[in-house]
Amino acid sequence: MKKTNVEVFLNYESEVRTYCRTFSAVFAKAKDSHLYSETGQEYIDFLCGAGALNYGHNNNIIMNAVIEYMKANGVMLTLDLHSKAKKEFITTFVTNVLEPRDLPYKFQFTSPTGTSVVESAVKLARKFTGRQNVIAFTNAFHGMSATSLSLTGSKSHRQSTLNASNVTRFPFEGYMGDEINTIELYRKLFEDKTSGVDLPAAVILETIQGEGGINVASNRWLRELRTLTEEFDILLIVDDIQAGCGRTGTFFSFEPAGIQPDIVCLSKSIGGIGLPFAMLLLRPELDIWSPGEDNGTFRGNNLAFVAATSMLKHYWNSFEFEHEIRAKERMVLEFFDEIEGKYSEHIKAIRGRGLMHGIEFYSAKHARDIVKACFENHLLIEVCGPEDQVLKFMPALTIPPGVLRQGLYRVGKAMHATLSPKWDTALAG
């Protein structure tokens, strides 16, 4: 088979690149849950664009809608001009997502990246409340621009030159152990005028921390946090950029808790097929912007509107798709039960929801070595967590059961090669 040539990337692309250092293939084609290198090698994708491809690669339903729109000379870029594509997206989102969940949000289309929508959310919260402090959490990740980085927990991401003033870091649920009532700790810090914690404009969180290690906030904790923010007139911002759009089994990750955030950040898979798209959902009374006060050239990405509308019409016209995700989650959990029994001495915890799960290893080296072994077994999967000690499972929501089973088998095979206990090919199904 022809050898992959990566010399052009080594010679001309910046050293800042990351994923390609682990996955050295040059990819040429992709379809549904498979990637194909330029040499013709097939790979199962459990990475899914870091959560931007919940509906797989080149999903026929979504792709055909985009192609037909382009063939009809549909307008591509409209800034924030009215467009038919935007109108259809808004109408479909209201009908298929907001109304069935009794959510009263308005839309703000921002520059088309996750970090930009977080920037807009924090800017709006500070403008609305007149306060500057924002509460973020340990192990959080919110993006790579200035404000987003100041909210991010990881020191390596925040970089030494970043000014993180006006951000207070609180411990996420479980960070200090289960015996600590973190909600009461936050309340004490808000009430005590000598705590040094200024009353914040907002609290921002991921209900399931993706890059932080698949740390899952409980429904009870989320409800208590929502009550606390209402008590002190603090806005609650949910960053659903990675955990939203069906990833955790419901369209929004916060649905099982029965809460309504003041602001919701969406990006990644809201673009349907990997097209750049980001938006804020906000309570109507928060919409105090002056015209043009927060904008961006590519906030009118009509191809993304078309893709997103197609995705919503097909997958979110009822709650049936949620049942399909739960059925696939059960397959993943059965695999975890088998794996945990074989490798209990190496596995610290397994956690997640829907098709967003992680296996935390005592040794970060084991997690990284398993990723390499998975790639040798023709599967892409990544690690996350403070030390990269968590193996992160994010297959496409649309992955066929047979492909999911085969992907899990490849992970199991890689774990056997790395950890070397008894191996049972029955995991292949």
Of residues 221, 223, 262, 271, the one with CA closest to residue 239: 262
pLDDT of residue 20: 87
| pTM for the predicted model, two decimal places | 0.93
Do residues 307 and 275 lie in contact, with contact meaning Cβ atoms separated by under 8 Å? yes
Report d(CA 195, CA 269) in Å as an integer.
40
Task: Report how far Cα 100 is from the mean position of its chain's Cα atoms.
Answer: 23
Helix residue ranges, H only, 96-218: 114-129, 146-151, 155-158, 182-191
Distance separating alpha carbons of residues 240 and 260, to the nearest angstrom: 13
DSSP β-bridge partners for residue 239: 265
What DSSP state is assigned to residue 320? Answer: H
Would you give the end-to-end CA distance of the chain in angstroms? 30
Distance of CA 393 to the CA centre of its chain: 12
Integer angstrom CA distances of residue 76 from 23, 61, 83, 159, 346:
33, 20, 10, 36, 51
Which residue intervals of the chain bear CATH 3.90.1150.10? Answer: 7-58+322-428
Delimit the CATH 3.40.640.10 region(s) of the chain. Answer: 74-315
* Cβ–Cβ < 8 Å for 87, 309: no
Identify the sign of the CA torsion 241, 263, 232, 146. Answer: positive
Question: In angstroms, rounded to a whole number, what is the distance separating the alpha carbons of residues 34 and 247?
Answer: 18
Number of residues that make up the chain = 429
- What class is the 7-58+322-428 domain? alpha beta
The answer to whether the beta carbons of residues 110 and 289 sit under 8 Å apart is no
CA distance 416 to 342: 9
Q: Could you tell me if 121 and 237 are in contact, meaning their C-beta atoms sit under 8 angstroms apart?
A: yes
Question: What are the pLDDT tens digits along the chain (429 aa)?
Answer: 455 688 899 899 898 888 888 898 999 999 999 999 999 999 999 999 999 999 999 999 999 999 999 999 999 999 999 999 999 999 999 999 999 999 999 999 999 999 999 999 999 999 999 999 999 999 998 877 767 767 766 555 545 545 557 899 999 999 988 889 999 999 999 999 999 999 999 999 999 999 999 999 999 999 999 999 999 999 999 999 999 999 999 999 999 999 999 999 999 999 999 999 999 999 999 999 999 999 889 998 999 999 999 999 999 999 999 999 999 999 999 999 999 999 999 999 999 999 999 999 999 999 999 999 999 999 999 999 999 999 999 999 999 999 999 999 999 999 999 997 554 544 544
Assigned CATH topology for domain 74-315: Aspartate Aminotransferase; domain 2 (3.40.640)
Pick from 358, 415, 332, 353: nearest CA to 139: 358
What integer pLDDT is reported at residue 4 of this predicted model?
64
In sequence order, the 6+-apart residues with CB closer than 8 A to the CB of 427 are 335, 338, 408, 409, 412
